[in-house]
Structure 1
Amino acid sequence: EGNERTIDELFDERIGQANHTQLAQFALSSVAWLPAAFLTLTSVFTAREVDWKCATENGCLDGDSGKLLNICAMDRELWTWVDAKSSIVSEWDLVCAHEYKVQLANSIFFVGFLMGAGILGQIADSKGRIFGLYVSTALASAGAMLGAMAGGYWTYFWCTMLRGFGCGGLGVASYVLCTEVLGIKWRAVLGISTQYFWSGGIALMAPVAYTMPKWRNFSTFCGLSGLAYVALSSKFLWESPRWYLATGKADKAHEVMTHLARGNPKFTGRLPPLKQTRVVKGLNVTAVLPYPVLRQRLVAMAYIFCVTSMVYYGLSLNVDALSGSVYMNTFISGIVEFPSHVFAQIYVDRLGRRMTLLVLMGTAAVGVFSSSMFSGSSQVFVSMIGRFGIAGSFNMIYLYTTELFPTIVRSACLGTCSLAARVGGIIAPGIIL
């Protein structure tokens, strides 16, 4: 019994903090963020604005001024869509009195996201990280593919909620799984690296959507991308040893740790047995309320989560409102996030968590406020400055929040802040650039 070691002691003494086997498992679970980006931001292309034209020559002109009339001021038979199958907007005439339905569908996505984050998060804790990840991905994929077959708006509406429900558990399960195979020294820096896959997914969406102009084809592809990840990773992805140990399966945890140890060229022999750590039951969020400092931190971080989510998804879902091509703007949006994550990784220890977050949020504020003062390519440029700041902020707030609260209430406080972020997501579709 005296030879037993905790998981962190084994990482320090025998396995290493981030050997090549650990990094391979980290990368494999992080790849889930690629389909997550497709499934979360599907509506950027499926609900985009579409060009229209006059049904007859001069049929759309004002008789007095000769100027082109607004489609809402004309009878429906006087105009037609250039490509009625390229968007839900054109297929179901979601304009004028029905324009609100586009934002409504985006908002119901985040209602589903809110529900999924809670329910699927519990499933990942009770049934395993991989089970939670795959169930979440399958549900989100099903929502996207069923939505692609919808015969009308309201069927699509509820399928969008299902897609959001699955996405609510996908990102959290992937993040937890990929960081739990790492030593504590590398967990913060590499945890930020998971977002490179998310940003890469956003950038990759643009050329894929360009080659699939029909919204049903693109939505189907988004669903298939999630199912492909499940099928291709299932033979190679290992369950979290920390989850095994927390659920009393020390032998399974030891088996995974042994696999990880083989990635360390200095490892020889066998690992000592794992020490079964005592599980302390966490308290709910009301436990912090009697303490002024913790209470103030909770309110402040919940507000930051809400605003950050609202701004990030507001910029993401309204990229079609910027001048220029929606495909190019989406591609640039994804690329801009890469240096943001690099900045966070470099300065998270040099400047500290709080100062790095303040710099990034300040940059986001300057970009977003400035975008209302410009038009054309200048507006695109300053909007991307805002995107740079808010992407890094979103990455930082999870890391910062986990370090602000004691272990016994950490999960409850992070869950409350995540709930606030979902509220921000519900509001986000109403933001107009």
Structure 2
Amino acid sequence: MRCAKVNFWTRTSGLRCHRSGPAGMTFDALLDEVGAFGPFQVLLVVLMASSRLVLPCNLLLNNFIGAVPPHRCKVARWNATTASAVPLGDDGLPQACGTFVRPPSLVAGNQSEATPTVPCLHGWIYDNSTFSSTIATEWDLVCERKHLPQTINIIFFLGLMLGSLLFGLLSDNYGRRRSLLLSYVLSLALGLASAWSDSYVLLAVLRFLSGTALAGVSLVTITLCIEWVNSSHRASMCVIGSLSWSLGNMLLAGLAFLINDWRPLVVAVNAPLALAVLTWRWVPESARWLCANAQVEKAHLYLNKCARANKRPELASKDIVEALSSAGKSKKSKKYTFLHLFKTPKLRKISLVSGIAWYGTAVTYYGISLNLSGFGLSVYLTHFVYAAVEVPARLLIYFLINRIGRRPCLVGTLVLTATCIGVNIFVPEDVWQLRSAVAILGKGLSEASATTIILYTHELYPTVLRQTGLGFTSVLSRVGVSVAPLVLFLEDVWSVLPQVVLCVGAFFCGLLAMLLPETLDLKLPETVQDVETPACSKGQEDVPLETKNTT
């Protein structure tokens, strides 16, 4: 019997290919033998937890360390009232960036409009009721230097872009585990060093390098978890990992409230990485990656560790070892580069479409987050609420992606996000309750699209190029993060232009995502050939890598 020749990326009901014994088993079939989801996988998630919490704390840290509190010019050597030394604005409050050249003459208790003003000569006085210290207050990054606190954030994301490229290649060519240790150690050292920066330039350099190192944590941790489970549990592992983002985000709000000095806050958000370094010795290498790179003995070792933890029989059979050996030897160990993402037709299409989808998801998520207002709460409580609303969105998408598929979820969440943005264009500003509700719904949907695309991208790329592909798409997402604040500046041209741009962008990316293949219930592709060539699609977890089209 010969299986019908169908595309690997589509599913056909009723079709099933049978294996002919242990020597024909694929990696997913071996993983089922040792336990595809059990105590071993739960322990893996726990080992990754401390480092996953650090990610949102660092990515959104600038909301607090770069905050610019209310301020006014410091007045020196004048026996005059503050109101007579500092010009007042239309709201009656002292202006932040100007002072009189000399004490103005007072006419009927009012400041003379003819008195000239100059930039602050003696520094600034800051309102320390919310933040006792930020980089803005320490280095006077206000007025003509007011762009510098946000520039630190852009520099950090540029580091993440570089790190996504570097750690994607390192992880695919030298292993997940080694790359993870390197990112842990560098992230901890650079993060702590940032707290002792004695100048803005040094802080900018250290934040750039810290972002580069943290990219490894972001890429490798979720990939390791997904590669140790079968197709039916990949969504669970991805959503659990994504929930750690929301928990870390809420943790940041609590830490920032308790520690309102920027230097101790930087230390606090990076301290959990010390625990991650200590527990790294128990983190297993990806047996899937080992098999794909012909390291059969190590793969057999880790699979048996998984079997013992899950209380399953060890893979001691000679036939099972031969199956691993056959699978490993069938794939020539080679070094891959980013060029391999575009050398073959289907991978080229996946890379281009998923990259644009990542960009659209990121710019939409951060565009909404930066533009969401109307709660009237403190900065800490507002940050906490924004993080908390992501939790139900992630849980909802968990139930949907295993029922209707990855592609419909990604397309649907992006299009609905665009719809929410579009609706708010026409809702009057004085109806702030409705605007806030629609904005929160849009933020939840954009978060759901982000959760979906993380899992989806892992399933689209083969094992030998998975981290490289994730590195490429992550770079485009960081571009989206950097562009989001610039999009909001378009309101100076037309007040609703930022919403129009975000709406059109999200809608376009949602429609474009329809070009991606569905991956629900399909085994993870191991090689480039697995993506490019047809194969049996129903019951694919039992299809030998060498004989996909025959039984």
Structure 2 residue aligned with 1:58, among 83, 105, 121? Answer: 83
User: Closer, same or farther in 2 for the Cα pair 1:63/1:346, shift >3 Å?
Assistant: closer
Does structure 1 residue 384 correspond to structure 2 residue 440? yes
Contact 1:116–1:167 (8 Å) recurs in 2 = yes
Aligned to 1:80: 125
Amino acid at match of 1:145: L
Contact 2:220 2:467 in 1 (8 A): no
The one of 238, 256, 277 equivalent to 1:191 is: 238
- Kept in 2: contact 1:362–1:389 (CA 8 A): no
Alpha-carbon shift at residue 22 of structure 1 (Å): 2.2
**Cα distance change on mapping 1:423 and 1:404 into 2, 3 Å:** same
- The sequence identity of aligned pairs, in percent, is 26
- Three-state SS of the structure 2 residue aligned to 1:94 is coil
AA matched with 2:48: S
Q: How does 1:261-300 map to 2 (within 5 A)?
A: 261-265=307-311, 267=313, 270=316, 272-273=320-321, 275-276=324-325, 277=328, 278-279=330-331, 284-288=340-344, 291=345, 298-300=351-353
Aligned to 2:111: none
CA contact (8 A) 2:49 2:244 kept: yes
Deviating more after overlay: 246-255 vs 278-287: 278-287
1:78, CA displacement in angstroms? Answer: 8.0
Compute the displacement of 1:424 (Å): 1.2
- CA positional deviation for 1:264: 3.5
Residues 323 and 72 (structure 1 numbering): CA distance in 2 closer, same or farther, change over 3 Å? farther
Once the 2 structures are TM-superposed, how far is the Cα of residue 135 of structure 1 from its aligned partner? 1.6
Structure 1's 365 and 66: CA in aligned 2 closer, same or farther, altered over 3 A? closer
Aligned residue number for residue 538 of structure 2: none
Alpha-carbon distance between aligned partners in 1 of 2:49 and 2:88, rounded to the nearest angstrom: 59
What's the counterpart of residue 71 of structure 1? 96
Q: How do residues 94-113 of structure 1 correspond to structure 2 at under 5 angstroms?
A: 94-113=141-160
Q: Cα distance, 1:371 vs. partner? A: 6.4
Kindly indicate whether the alpha-carbon contact (under 8 Å) linking 2:252 and 2:269 is maintained by their aligned counterparts in 1: no
Instruction: Tell me which moved more, 351-360 or 91-100.
Output: 351-360
2:350–2:460: 8 Å Cα contact kept in structure 1? yes
Q: Say whether residues 1:9 and 2:29 are aligned partners.
A: yes
Matches within 5 A, 1:306-385: 306-315=359-368, 323-368=376-421, 374=429, 381-385=437-441
TM-score (structure 1 length as normaliser): 0.86
For normalisation by structure 2, the TM-score amounts to 0.69
**What CA distance in whole angstroms lies between the structure 1 residues aligned with 2:63 and 2:92?**
31
The answer to whether residue 255 in structure 2 is matched with residue 180 in structure 1 is no
Structure 2 equivalent of residue 418 of structure 1: 474
Distance in 2 between residues matched to 1:349 and 1:339, nearest whole Å = 16
Asked if residue 242 in structure 1 is aligned to residue 288 in structure 2, the reply is yes
What are the superposed Cα offsets for residues 97-122 of structure 1, whole Å, 9 maximum, x if unpaired? 11121222111111111111111222
| Cα deviation 1:78-102 (Å, max 9, x = unaligned) | 8501238521112122222111212
Q: What is the distance in 2 between the residues matched to 1:413 and 1:44?
A: 30
Structure 2 counterparts to residues 150-189 of structure 1, below 5 A = 150-189=197-236
Measured at CA, do residues 403 and 128 of structure 1 come closer, stay the same or move farther in structure 2, by a change above 3 Å? closer
**Paired residue type of 1:428:** A
How much is the aligned-residue C-alpha RMSD, in angstroms?
A: 3.3
* Partner amino acid, structure 2, of 1:80: I
Shift of the alpha carbon at 1:162? 0.9
Choose 318-327 or 93-102, whichever is displaced more.
318-327
CA apart distance, 1:32: 2.4
Q: Post-superposition shift, 1:165?
A: 0.5
Paired position in structure 1 for 2:51:
32
Q: Secondary structure at the match of 2:186?
A: helix
Match of 2:304 in 1: 258
How has the CA–CA distance of structure 1 residues 262 and 132 changed in structure 2, closer, same or farther, with 3 Å as cutoff?
Answer: same
Q: Is the 8 A contact 1:318 1:429 kept in 2?
A: no
Which moves more between the two structures, 77-86 or 402-411?
Answer: 402-411
DSSP-derived class of the 1:80 partner: strand
SS of residue paired to 2:125: strand
The 2-side partners of 1:300 and 1:182 are apart by 26
- Could you tell me how far 1:25 is from its partner in structure 2? 1.6
Q: Is the 8 A contact 1:11 1:17 kept in 2?
A: yes
Aligned to 2:449: 393
Q: In structure 2, how many angstroms separate the alpha carbons of the residues matched to 1:137 and 1:266? A: 32
Q: Provide structure 1 residue ranges, at least 5 long, that are not aligned to the other structure.
A: none
C-alpha contact (below 8 Å) 1:364/1:390 kept by paired residues: yes
Q: Give the total of aligned pairs.
A: 427
How does 1:401-412 map onto structure 2 within 5 Å?
401-403=457-459
Larger radius of gyration: 2
After alignment, is 130-139 or 398-407 more displaced? 398-407
The question of whether the paired residues in 2 share the 8 Å contact of 1:129 and 1:173 is answered with yes
1 CA distance for matches of 2:47 and 2:463?
28
CA contact (8 A) 1:323 1:377 kept: no
- Consecutive unaligned residues of structure 2, counting only runs of 5 or more, are 1-20, 75-80, 100-118, 490-551
**Matched residue type, 2:451:** N
* Cα distance in 2 for residues equivalent to 1:393 and 1:198: 14
Change (3 A) 1:78 1:95: closer
SS in 2 for 1:328: helix
Aligned equivalent of 2:6? none
* Structure 1 contact 139–165 (Cα < 8 Å) conserved: no
